[in-house]
């Protein structure tokens, strides 16, 4: 069969996961608690079927076999994160030697199998001890994060060549401090803005530390640079779209990728008394910091319309004062996850990166489809997930088109490798190339995993 969509020889193929979602905990591992260990226990009703972080996918104990499983389907790269609270149980201070050994083993095993480790430092998982002191709301966190990042560079920087400071830094601010989805379940825009500002500064400090160490590798960040689609070209809809873009995308992309907060945002926040405290050197630091590589997580587009009703502006300030989310009639849905499927979005992102953000090197760091009750699709012991193959094909075709038009896309990582635990949804929706049997811990390759192997072998399909 001919390969219609051919990717470059050097293309990164693999999958991504995160520490908290995959490692699990075993007795005596000396891991410190993080906000997910805590909230999945204390706010158990908020998690699907009440599943906590205790057992998540068992990567801590199965890492050797799991890396063999990756090699079996010919991955040449894999992203996971380091768990801050595993490495430094109190967030600052003493290092957990068992964690050092674990991460060394993971990195060494990956390299031995020809799989490039992509290591992320923070995937939503604040150590509980630091959350108790205010987490990202407390400016002190910048120092703590910088020191944690430096510890990681020192311990693993000789072998890890691709580092990432944060995964989707907007989420902890937005879900944890504005929309009541993640712990600490605060609803307060100014506090969310403070969290975001401190996160950006922590990112800048870590990049700076990495550069100063003169290590031979690249450092970047993983974000969702979501394209916004207004309902229509009516000026009210377009304006609503611009506001959604300003608050949820440009507020983060521009400081990280252009070195500057958007002026319009500052003006609006000033007008509504929502500006976080900004110290003298903060803006200079943001201006000086540039990344080498960008990871893009893409799941869904953002559709927006003008507000149906004027709202009472005496309440808690919110970006949703300026727009309504829009459910486009006839949109194609992933009903398990309740989100729209729109493969062209990945192409639009690539073009946005090309046009607005200097065509920086990037890769798809997450893309995938979560399906509830996936056991329904088991045939002869294997999940026959044709829908996942179709989903990946469609997205890859758009990635390829963007590359043909000059986008510097370096690879594609599927979310995820083995079905993993998720924030809020726990094990409700399955995303993996391998199915995890929650009862037995057994991991079996799905049809999509077999298909992905053929794609890697041919560098295309
Ligand atoms: C991304 C996160 C991942 C993963 C994924 C799927 O935003 O970076 O950690 O969870 O979404 O999300 P969910 O499992 O909630 O459907």
Q: Separation of 431 CA from ligand 1 center, angstroms?
A: 9
Phi-psi region of 332 (alpha: psi -120 to 50; beta: other; left: phi over 0): beta
> Which stretches does DSSP call E strand in 264-408?
293-297, 302-305, 324-325, 333-334, 339-340, 362-366, 371-372, 378-379, 382-383
Phi/psi at 214 (nearest 5 deg)?
60, 30
Q: Tell whether 116 is covered by a domain.
A: yes
Q: Is the C-beta atom of 79 inside 6 A of ligand 1?
A: no
Whether 415 is in the pocket of ligand 1, judged by its Cβ within 6 Å, is yes
Residue 386 lies in a domain: yes
Is the link from the previous residue into 214 a cis peptide, with omega within 30 of 0? Answer: no
> Does the N-terminal peptide bond of residue 186 adopt cis geometry, omega within 30 degrees of 0?
no
Mutation choice for ligand 1 from 367, 415, 425, CB with most ligand atoms inside 8 A: 415
pLDDT for the residue numbered 392: 98
CA pair distance 123, 437, nearest whole angstrom: 24
Q: What is the CATH number of the domain that holds 113?
A: 3.20.20.80
> pLDDT for 279-312, tens place per residue?
999 999 999 999 999 999 999 999 999 999 988 8
Q: What is the mean pLDDT of residues 402-412?
A: 98
- Residues 6 or more apart whose Cβ sits within 8 Å of residue 441: 58, 62
Q: How far is the CA of 273 from the centre of ligand 1 (A)?
A: 32
pLDDT higher than threshold 90 for residue 55: no
The pLDDT value given to residue 120: 99
pLDDT, position 332: 98
94 is catalytic: no
How far, rounded to the nearest angstrom, does the alpha carbon of residue 378 sit from its chain's CA centroid? 29
Distance, in Å, from the CA atom of 370 to the CA atom of 333, rounded to the nearest integer, reads: 12
For range 360-378, the mean pLDDT: 98
Pairwise CA distance, residues 281 & 442, whole Å: 52
- Measured distance CA(126)–CA(295) in Å, rounded: 21
Indicate which atom in ligand 1 lies nearest the CA of residue 168. 8
> What pLDDT score was predicted for residue 200?
98
Alpha carbon nearest to ligand 1 atom 12, residue: 422
Which helix (H) or strand (E) segment holds residue 192: the answer is helix 189-213
At residue 81, does pLDDT exceed 80?
Answer: yes
Query: Rounded to whole angstroms, how far apart are CA atoms 211 and 226?
Result: 29
**Is pTM, for the whole model, over 0.85?**
yes
**Is residue 248 domain-resident?**
yes
Taking 80 as the threshold, does the pLDDT of residue 396 lie above it?
yes
Average pLDDT of the chain is 97
Query: What three-state secondary structure class fits 363?
Result: strand
Q: Give the H/E segment covering residue 176.
A: helix 170-177
Distance CA 126, CA 130 (A): 7
Average pLDDT over residues 207-229: 96
How high is the pLDDT of residue 374? 98
- CA distance to 53, 181, 268, 370, 375, per residue, from 42 (Å): 12, 14, 37, 26, 29
Q: Is the pLDDT of residue 398 over 80?
A: yes
CA angle 277, 279, 285 (to 5 degrees): 120
pLDDT at 1 over 80: no
Pick from 5, 14, 106: nearest CA to 453: 14
What angle separates helix 447-458 from helix 386-404, to the nearest 10 degrees?
Answer: 30
In this prediction, residue 217 has a pLDDT band, given cuts at 50, 70 and 90, of: very high
In a domain, residue 4? The reply is no
Q: Tell me, what's the pLDDT at 314?
A: 86
In this prediction, residue 2 carries a pLDDT of 87
Q: Is residue 1 part of a domain?
A: no
Q: 387 pLDDT band (50/70/90 cuts)?
A: very high
Q: Confirm whether 6 is domain-assigned.
A: no
Q: Determine the distance from the C-alpha atom of residue 369 to the mean position of all C-alpha atoms in its chain, rounded to a whole number.
A: 14
* Domain-located, residue 2: no
- How many structural domains compose the chain? 1
Distance from the alpha carbon of residue 315 to the mean position of ligand 1, in angstroms: 30
pLDDT, one tens digit per residue, over 145-182 is 999 999 999 999 999 999 999 999 999 999 999 999 99
DSSP letters for 14-79: EEE--HHHH----TT--PPPBHHHHHHHHTGGGSGGG--SSSGGGHHHHHHHHHHHHHHTT-SEEE
Of 354, 350, 392, 459, the C-alpha closest to 11 is 459
Annotated catalytic, 116?
Answer: no
Point out the catalytic residue in the list 137, 168, 174, 340: 168
- Which pLDDT score, from 0 to 100, does residue 224 have? 86
pLDDT for position 310: 87
Measured by CA distance, the residue closest to atom 4 of ligand 1 is 422
Residue 103 confidence (pLDDT): 99
Please state, in angstroms and as integers, the Cα–Cα distance from residue 164 to each residue in 122, 327, 333, following that order. 8, 33, 31
Atom 14, ligand 1: residue with shortest CA distance: 422
pLDDT score for 313: 86
Report if residue 3 sits inside a domain.
no
Q: Whose CA is nearest to atom 10 of ligand 1?
A: 422
Euclidean distance between CA atoms 107 and 384, whole angstroms: 31
With CA atoms as reference, report the closest residue to 81 among 116, 111, 123. 123
Helix (H) or strand (E) holding 451: helix 447-458
The CB of 297 under 6 Å from ligand 1? The reply is yes
**Alpha helices, DSSP H, located in 279-438:** 282-288, 344-356, 386-404
Show the domain range for 219.
12-458
């Amino acid at each position: 069969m001919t390969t219609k969509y051919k990717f470059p020889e050097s293309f990164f193929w693999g999958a991504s996961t995160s520490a908290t979602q995959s490692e699990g905990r075993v007795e005596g591992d000396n891991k410190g608690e993080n906000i997910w260990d805590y909230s999945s226990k204390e706010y158990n009703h908020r998690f699907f079927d009440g599943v906590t972080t205790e057992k998540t996918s068992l990567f801590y104990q199965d890492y050797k076999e799991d890396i063999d499983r990756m090699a079996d389907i010919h991955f040449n790269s894999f992203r996971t994160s380091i768990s801050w609270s595993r490495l430094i149980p109190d967030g600052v201070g003493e290092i957990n030697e068992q964690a050092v050994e674990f991460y060394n083993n993971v990195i060494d095993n990956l390299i031995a199998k020809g799989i490039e480790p992509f290591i992320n430092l923070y995937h939503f998982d604040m150590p509980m001890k630091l959350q108790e002191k205010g987490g990202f709301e407390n400016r002190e966190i910048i120092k703590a994060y910088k020191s944690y990042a430096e510890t990681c560079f020192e311990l693993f920087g000789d072998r890890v060549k691709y580092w990432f400071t944060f995964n989707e830094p907007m989420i902890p601010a937005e879900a944890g401090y504005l929309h009541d989805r993640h712990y600490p379940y605060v609803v307060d825009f100014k506090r969310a803005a403070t969290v975001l500002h401190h996160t950006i500064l922590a990112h800048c400090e870590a990049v700076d530390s990495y550069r100063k160490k003169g290590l031979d590798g690249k450092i970047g960040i993983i974000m969702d640079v979501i394209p916004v689609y207004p309902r229509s070209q009516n000026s009210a809809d377009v304006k609503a779209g611009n506001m959604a873009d300003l608050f949820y995308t440009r507020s983060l992309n521009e400081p990280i990728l252009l070195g500057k907060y958007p002026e319009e945002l500052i003006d609006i926040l000033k007008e509504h008394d929502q500006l976080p405290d900004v110290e003298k050197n903060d803006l200079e630091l943001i201006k000086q910091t540039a990344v080498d590589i960008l990871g893009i997580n893409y799941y869904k587009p953002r559709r927006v319309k003008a507000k149906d009703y004027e709202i009472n502006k005496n309440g808690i300030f919110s970006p949703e004062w300026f727009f309504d989310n829009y459910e486009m009639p006839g949109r194609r849905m992933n009903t398990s996850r309740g989100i729209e499927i729109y493969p062209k979005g990945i192409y639009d992102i690539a073009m946005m990166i090309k046009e607005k953000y200097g065509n920086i090197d990037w890769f798809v760091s997450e893309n995938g489809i979560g399906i509830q009750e996936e056991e329904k699709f088991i045939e002869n012991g294997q999940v026959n997930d044709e829908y996942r193959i179709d989903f990946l094909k469609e997205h890859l075709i758009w990635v390829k088109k963007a590359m043909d038009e000059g986008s510097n896309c370096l690879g594609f990582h599927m979310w995820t490798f083995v079905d993993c635990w998720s924030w809020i949804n726990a094990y409700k929706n399955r995303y993996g190339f391998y199915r995890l049997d929650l009862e037995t811990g057994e991991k079996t390759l799905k049809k999509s995993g077999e298909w992905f192997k053929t794609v890697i072998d041919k560098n295309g399909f």
